[in-house]
Amino acid sequence: MPRLVGLRLRLPHPLLLLVGGVGVAMLLTWLLPAGAFQRTTDATTGRELVVPGTWAATTPAPVDPFGALLAIPRGMAAGADVLLTILFVGAAFVLLDQTGALGRLTASVVQRARSPYRVVLGMTLAFATLGALDNSQEEIVALIPALLLLSRGVGAGPLTALSMSVGAASVGSAFGPTNPYQTGIALKFAELPPLSSPMLRTGVFGMALAVWCVFVLWGMQREARAMPVQTLRAGGTDAPAMADARRRDLLLLAIALIPFVPYVVGVLRWGWGFHELSALFLAAGYAIGFASGRSLADTTEALIDGMKMMLPATLYVGVARGIGLVLEDGQVLDTIIHGLSLPVLDAPPALAPLLMIPAQALLHLAVPSVSGQATLTMPIMAPVADLVGAGRDAAVFAYQTGAGLSDTIVPTNGAVMAMLAAAGVPFSRWLRFAGVGLLLVALVGAGAVLLAA
């Protein structure tokens, strides 16, 4: 596997990085010309769609420093549903961890597995499937402590925990043929059928996932060589816990996982969102307390303590939302989209579809919502693909590769920053590690763009 030789980035605290992003967005509202596309409302979804070719300059609306600061609490208010989900899901899993069930079950899984590679591969495939089905990301924040235990149990460390969870989920989300939040929205607003080019999409999904699985296993082996001997694997002081998993531990784990079942069904059938997931996990938290023998008062205290541990994660997500609000307030977001589409139009026909990939990746810094970016860009990029003689499927694959894959390494993604903080991994270290694997997967996406063109 390739290495990024000599790359030693030192970045500030995640919160400072995100607040700095708000400041950069404020400066852009003073430096870039204000402009806007005309928009129309989609009759089916009610979403506002950009009308291609209608960008025009508007009255400048630069955001002042106080407006930028105000965007931070506004961003937290706008993302209240996600923040509450992180608090409630996180509190339930913290309580589960306090019972000791996670540690005992993790040790038992590691002991019974004939190969730690099977454990990691199974987790990678599971999270990739969740990503492909439900675009899962924020939900993973609360699972990081359990994933760290599992990763340590197989002799690896936090990079393996992150790559087999959020990394796998991002790859699955980016290329999942039926993912309603990326592929589904992008195809709809590119005016393509819901299952356009099914064979190609299925093949690309399989190849991208295979590349990521190989990368995760390589990263695990590399990380394991640099880690001290792990007691769960080597029979050290924690070895007796291997045989101590009880039936009640399985019950407690089941209670913690059961809410995901009605949630996924609810998302696909009834349009459920994060509020429903929060409610399910609030109930699950009390159920875990009751099943573990705690009193109602003790359970409540434990849940509050768990929420306290998740507060930094919620702060990162809220501040990240403020960046987009500043760009919207200053009326420069459409200007950025318009500017990124121009080089594609001016490029040679053979190169134009590929240039959509970096354009989508750069834009994802300003629009860290993949579904929001699909709504914004596909009404523009799909006609651009027509103009350069490429298929519209190529524009969709370029969006999936550029926005979908970069979703796990853009510092403006509050959920990712929260997971890195929970795992104790600096952003620069994650960028150096995950960037290699994502570049390899991006080659698969680039091949898909060329095939679809």
Residue 52: which residues within 8 A CB-CB, separation 6 or more? 37, 379, 380, 382, 383, 384
Average pLDDT score, the chain: 82
> Which of residues 39 and 417 earns the better pLDDT score?
417
Cα separation, 254 vs 274, whole angstroms: 20
pLDDT category at 109 given cuts 50, 70, 90 is: low
pLDDT category at 287 given cuts 50, 70, 90 is: very high
Q: What average pLDDT does range 410-426 have in this prediction?
A: 87
What pLDDT is recorded for position 238?
39
Domain boundaries, the chain: 14-452
pLDDT, one tens digit per residue, over 297-346 is 999 999 998 888 778 767 777 787 788 789 889 998 888 878 877 887 77
pLDDT category at 378 given cuts 50, 70, 90 is: confident
With CA atoms as reference, report the closest residue to 130 among 80, 154, 104, 165: 165
With CA atoms as reference, report the closest residue to 94 among 47, 141, 58: 141
Q: Over pLDDT 90: what percentage of the chain? A: 29
Give the 3-state DSSP-derived string for the chain, with helices as H, strands as E and coil as C.
CCCCCCCCCCCCCHHHHHHHHHHHHHHHHHHCCCEECCEEECCCCCCEEECCCCCEECCCCCCCHHHHHHHHHHHHHHCHHHHHHHHHHHHHHHHHHHCCHHHHHHHHHHHHCCCHHHHHHHHHHHHHHHHHHHCCCHHHHHHHHHHHHHHHHCCCCHHHHHHHHHHHHHHHHHHCCCCHHHHHHHHHHCCCCCCCCHHHHHHHHHHHHHHHHHHHHHHHHHHHHHCCCCHHHHCCCCHHHHHCCCHHHHHHHHHHHCCHHHHHHHHHHHCCCHHHHHHHHHHHHHHHHHHCCCCHHHHHHHHHHHHHHHHHHHHHHHHHHHHHHHHHHCCCHHHHHHHHHHHHHHCCCCCHHHHHHHHHHHHHHHCCCHHHHHHHHHHHHHHHHHHCCCCHHHHHHHHHHHHHHHCCCCCCCHHHHHHHHHHCCCHHHHHHHHHHHHHHHHHHHHHHHHHHC
Q: What average pLDDT does range 429-449 have in this prediction?
A: 94
pLDDT, one tens digit per residue, over 46-86 is 666 677 778 899 999 999 999 999 999 998 888 788 778 77
